[in-house]
């Protein structure tokens, strides 16, 4: 019996694969490397000392995906695969709807056919839209501010309908807040294409000298220092949340949403300060215009996940910053590091 991990070569998927293998689970990974590298899979094996089955395929390819179910005894799926850039989703919405929504429908169709009705889905705090207050609990109103967010919201609704149609399904909707950090080994981490959109990879790339300075998006928010506040969560804590959710869905039926966040909010400037303290690396920054569509403050109430999954975040901002930096400084070109060194 095995756990199917879609998008397992990606940032959160690779860290979750490590924890699943460490726990002794058998995993089967599928990925099309549209936003990841095969090297990530080698490093999962290097960290854990374990091998696992991998299929290079696009989830939109129903025939190839079904072959995975024909060839393996699958117990549950953890579904990370999808596109995740908010800005890009505004430019190419149809690709987002097709990749995120259609592939989830295809996956569920095949799961249904093979009577695998256990699913952990990567949702996002983005489904809360512009929250009216914080901390945010799971029953807050949901809305979408952009096509990416709408794909997450629509998939949550599709999965609710699926469960209504057949109560044998067991589904966890995990609403991640702001994942940062990397595995302690420094072997796996976030490897964004081009200039990062998100704060922590941007800070790390300034630290390593790839980018000159950080643009701080606005300092007139109603917060202590005027910069936006978020709930940053260590990716290894997030990975552990998946293991807990998996246990839950394998032993019960139903559909539940869980916030995976720490419950603590940090401003952009507090993150810059924490990074400098944890690493000793200065991060020059400039205050620029606020980014359109950004909430001032967003942090989780993680009580439900603690109560029902027995999960809570363990790592603080120091570890988030130190581990992001270890990954970035050991791999200044991400997973391309070896190639770049050979070229030099």
Question: Which spans of this chain sit near ligand NAD (rule: CB under 6 A)?
Answer: 7, 9-13, 31-36, 58-60, 80-82, 84, 99, 103, 122, 124, 176, 179
Q: Is 183 a residue that touches ligand WQD (CB under 6 A)? A: no
Residue facing ligand WQD at closest CB distance: 228
Residue 274: count of CB within 10 angstroms of its CB: 19
Q: How many Å is the Cα radius of gyration of the chain?
A: 19
| Partner from ligand NAD, ligand WQD, none contacting 86, C-beta within 5 to 8 A by type | ligand WQD
Q: Is 111 a residue that touches ligand WQD (CB under 6 A)? A: no
d(CA 107, CA 101): 10
Q: Is 96 a catalytic residue?
A: no
For residue 267, CA distances in Å to 95, 147, 204, 294, 304 come to 33, 26, 16, 13, 24
Q: Crossing angle for the helix pair 38-48 and 11-22, nearest 10 degrees?
A: 30
Asked if 151 contacts 102 with a C-beta cutoff of 8 angstroms, the reply is no
Q: Which of 57-65, 133-141, 197-205, 234-242 is the region at the interface with ligand WQD (rule: CB under 6 A)? A: 197-205
| Partner from ligand WQD, ligand NAD, none contacting 243, C-beta within 5 to 8 A by type | none
Q: Which of 94-102, 136-144, 193-201, 303-311 is the region at the interface with ligand WQD (rule: CB under 6 A)? A: 193-201
Of 12, 10, 6, the C-alpha closest to 233 is 12
| Partner from ligand NAD, ligand WQD, none contacting 294, C-beta within 5 to 8 A by type | ligand WQD
Q: Is 102 a residue that touches ligand WQD (CB under 6 A)? A: no
Contacts of 148 (CB under 8 A, 6+ apart): 83, 84, 85, 86, 88, 89, 96, 100, 126
Residues lying near ligand WQD in the complex (CB under 6 A): 84, 86, 124, 126, 178, 197-199, 202, 214-217, 228, 230, 268, 291, 294
Catalytic residues: 148
């Amino acid at each position: 019996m095995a756990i199917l991990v879609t998008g397992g070569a990606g940032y959160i998927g690779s860290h979750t694969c490590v924890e699943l293998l460490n726990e002794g689970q058998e995993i089967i990974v599928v990925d099309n490397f549209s936003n990841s590298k095969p090297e990530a899979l080698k490093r999962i094996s290097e960290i854990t000392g374990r091998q696992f089955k991998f299929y290079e395929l696009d989830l939109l390819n129903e025939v190839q995906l079904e072959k995975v179910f024909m060839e393996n005894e699958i117990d549950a799926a953890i579904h990370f695969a999808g596109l995740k850039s908010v800005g890009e989703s505004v430019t190419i919405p149809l690709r987002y709807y097709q990749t995120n929504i259609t592939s989830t429908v295809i996956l569920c169709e095949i799961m249904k056919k093979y009577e695998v009705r256990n699913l952990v889905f990567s949702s996002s705090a983005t489904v809360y839209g512009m929250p009216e207050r914080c901390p945010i609990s799971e029953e807050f109103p949901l809305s979408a501010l952009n096509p990416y967010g709408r794909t997450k919201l629509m998939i949550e609704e599709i999965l609710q309908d699926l469960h209504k149609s057949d109560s044998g399904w067991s589904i966890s909707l995990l609403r991640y807040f702001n994942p940062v950090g990397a595995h302690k080994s420094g072997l796996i981490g976030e490897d964004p294409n081009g200039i990062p959109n998100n704060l922590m990879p941007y800070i790390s790339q300034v630290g390593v000298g790839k980018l000159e300075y950080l643009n701080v998006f606005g300092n007139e928010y109603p917060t202590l220092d005027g910069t936006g506040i978020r709930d940053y969560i260590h990716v290894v804590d997030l990975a552990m949340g998946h293991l807990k959710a998996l246990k839950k869905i394998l032993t019960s039926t139903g559909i539940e949403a869980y916030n995976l966040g720490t419950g603590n909010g940090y401003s952009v400037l507090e993150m810059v300060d924490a990074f400098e303290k944890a690493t000793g690396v200065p991060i020059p920054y400039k205050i620029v215009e606020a980014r359109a569509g950004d909430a001032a403050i967003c942090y989780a109430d993680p009580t439900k996940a603690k109560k029902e999954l027995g999960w809570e975040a363990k790592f603080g901002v120091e570890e988030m910053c130190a581990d992001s930096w270890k990954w970035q400084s050991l791999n200044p070109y991400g997973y391309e590091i070896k190639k770049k060194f050979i070229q030099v």
